[in-house]
Amino acid sequence: MTDEPRTEGTRVYFTGTCEGFAELREALAGHPEIEVVGSSEHVGQASAALAGGHLDCVVHAARTDAFPATEVAAIREQTRTPIIIVAAGQGGGLLEDALEANVADVLLLPQLTENVAFAIRKAAHARTNVPRATRPPAGRVVNVFSPKGGTGKTITASNLAAALARQGRKTLLLDLDLQFGDAAIVMGLEPDKTIYDLVVAPGELDIEKLAGYTAKHPCGLDILPAPLRPEDAELVTESKITRLIEVARECYEVIVVDTSPFFHGPMLATLDRTDELLVICGLDVPTLKNVRLALQTLELLSYPSSRIRYVLNRANTKVGLSKREVEAALKISISAEVPSDRVVPLSVNKGAPAVISDASSDFSKAIVSLAKSLTPAESRAKRRKLLSMPSMPSMQRS
Ligand SMILES: Nc1ncnc2c1ncn2[C@@H]1O[C@H](COP(=O)(O)OP(=O)(O)OP(=O)(O)O)[C@@H](O)[C@H]1O
Ligand SMILES: [Mg+2]
């Protein structure tokens, strides 16, 4: 997995089988506007890719003339992405049932590759242009992850979130290190409510309810702290996290997620909604070993490599391993280097993020430039327009 530039192709996954399907898949793999994420004859074997692959469309080949209701239901269990059915032969009763099941299109093979590519792009486009009320929310999820403890996830996530808030971006710091999260402490806050209180509170989660459980930092950042007791973590289930991120994206421009060093359920649910995955690397062999394993897992999950950025923490330490050696060992390129800096432990003990308490330090400058690089100014403007940003009294700071 390399840190290749983001491709603009429509991300497609193929399931099922029928006559002519293998040839079609091969032809589409060479199409400049289509990015083939993978294929699996059996839907059951594709769950990871369907759930985590950030797909724009699934093309399912029906083996017979009958509508593949079971397979379509199984695909929908994993992803809400549009489904196109292809079949060989006459199609029989397929079309009517397919319309009823709300699939995006039905194509009878053989077809010109260009026609199928057009149908795929049309289905994907229709999904991103649904009316405002049903449009997916606009906030961007930045997930700070490392498969090794102590590499600097919390320091990076909290300072990054504070820097973004300082830059005027409406930002939520979400602590999903559910057992031992310390993002609130690093920010100098002693919260009385946490994500645990939010998920056990009665009633549907919505923007107003979320606002009632976030701690407000004077820099403008909102924080949803981790549970106070490790045993409370298990009540923060994947479905609660999924809904939480959905709601947070409606009212924040950026959601910065601090994580634990594991691929457990909550992390996988977040990954599925992650726009930018910042993988924190360090200049030590055990961390590199774990990062390599994590990259293999991400590949198995079909997580798009174009959404991964590598951050080298403590980049200036002289420990017999260089940035170039890390890049060569992992076959990646590092996007940002953060120096080891005394201001970091000092700021943690003061309870004030370094980007605020020591803004002129090299550490803070590195984090601020990382924050600026996350979304270019132009797309920031677009995002602002998309966000409804309701002016609710409960969300305004005094
Ligand atoms: N760039 C840095 N310069 C100096 N100290 C740093 C830097 N980054 C992290 N640290 C220190 O390293 C320690 C671990 O950092 P941090 O808590 O962010 O790691 P983590 O990856 O979140 O760990 P965990 O997996 O346990 O949650 C902290 O005490 C922090 O002060
Ligand atoms: Mg941490």
Tens-digit pLDDT profile for residues 180-190: 999 999 999 99
Q: Which two tokens stand for residue 79?
A: 């992803």
Q: Which of 145-154, 175-184, 194-203, 382-391 has the lowest average pLDDT?
A: 382-391
Decide: 261 in ligand 1 pocket, CB within 6 A: yes
Residue 377: what pLDDT?
Answer: 52
Q: Any idea which ligand is nearest the CA of 155?
A: 1
Structure tokens at 47: 């769950």
Mean pLDDT of 67-92: 88
Residues 6+ apart with CB under 8 A from 269: 238, 239, 241, 242, 245
State the pLDDT confidence band at 77, using cuts at 50, 70 and 90: confident
- Assess whether the C-beta atom of 160 lies below 6 angstroms from ligand 1: no
Task: Please classify residue 243 by burial: count the beta carbons closer than 10 Å to its beta carbon, then call 0-12 exposed, 13-18 middle and 19+ buried.
Answer: middle
Residues 16/43, Cβ–Cβ less than 8 Å: yes
Quickly list DSSP for 193-256: --HHHHHHSSS---HHHHHTT-EE-TTS-EEEPPPSSGGGGGGS-HHHHHHHHHHHHHH-SEEE
Which residue among 337, 344, 358 has the greatest number of ligand 1 atoms within 8 angstroms of its CB, and so is best to mutate? Answer: 344
Nearest CA to ligand 1 atom 1: 340
Q: How confident is the model at residue 95 (pLDDT cuts 50, 70, 90)?
A: confident
Please tell me the residue having the least CA distance from ligand 1 atom 3. Answer: 340
pLDDT of residue 158 exceeding 90, the answer is yes
CB atoms within 10 A of CB 202: 4
The confidence score (pLDDT) of residue 14 equals 97
| Cα angle 240-245-251, degrees, rounded to a multiple of 5 | 130
Q: Check pLDDT > 50 for residue 136.
A: no
CA atoms of 233 and 15, how far apart (whole Å): 36
Tally Cβ neighbours within 10 Å of residue 379: 11
Q: Average pLDDT of 122-136?
A: 64
DSSP 139: P
What's the pLDDT score for residue 6? Answer: 43
- Which residue's CA lies nearest to atom 31 of ligand 1? 345
The percentage of residues in the chain with a pLDDT greater than 90, rounded to a whole number, is 73
Cut 0.85: pTM above it: no
Cβ of 145 less than 6 Å from ligand 1: no
Tokens in use for 88? 């060989």
Which residues have CB under 8 Å from 78's CB, separation 6+?
Answer: 46, 47, 50, 51
* Residue 288: closest CA among 146, 95, 126, 141: 146
Measure CA 386 to chain center: 19
**Does ligand 1 come within 6 angstroms of the Cβ of 152?**
yes
- Taking 50 as the threshold, does the pLDDT of residue 132 lie above it? no
Residue 194, ligand 1, Cβ within 6 A? no
pLDDT of residue 375: 61
Has residue 349 got a pLDDT over 70? Answer: yes
What DSSP letter does each residue of 265-325 carry, written as one string?
A: HHHHHHHTT-SEEEEEE-SSHHHHHHHHHHHHHHHHTT--GGGEEEEEETTT--SS--HHH
221 contacts 184 by C-beta, under 8 angstroms? no
Q: What is the model's pLDDT at position 389?
A: 43
**Residue 376 in 3-state DSSP?**
coil
Residue 334 has pLDDT above 70, yes or no: yes
pLDDT band at 8 (very low <50, low <70, confident <90, very high): low
pLDDT of 2 higher than 70: no
Give the Cα separation of 356 and 359 in Å (integer): 5
230 lines ligand 1 (CB under 6 A): no
Q: Given a cut of 70, is residue 133 above it in pLDDT?
A: no
Candidate from 143, 144, 155 with most ligand 1 atoms within 8 A of CB, to mutate: 155
- Give residue 325 CA to ligand 2 midpoint distance, Å: 26
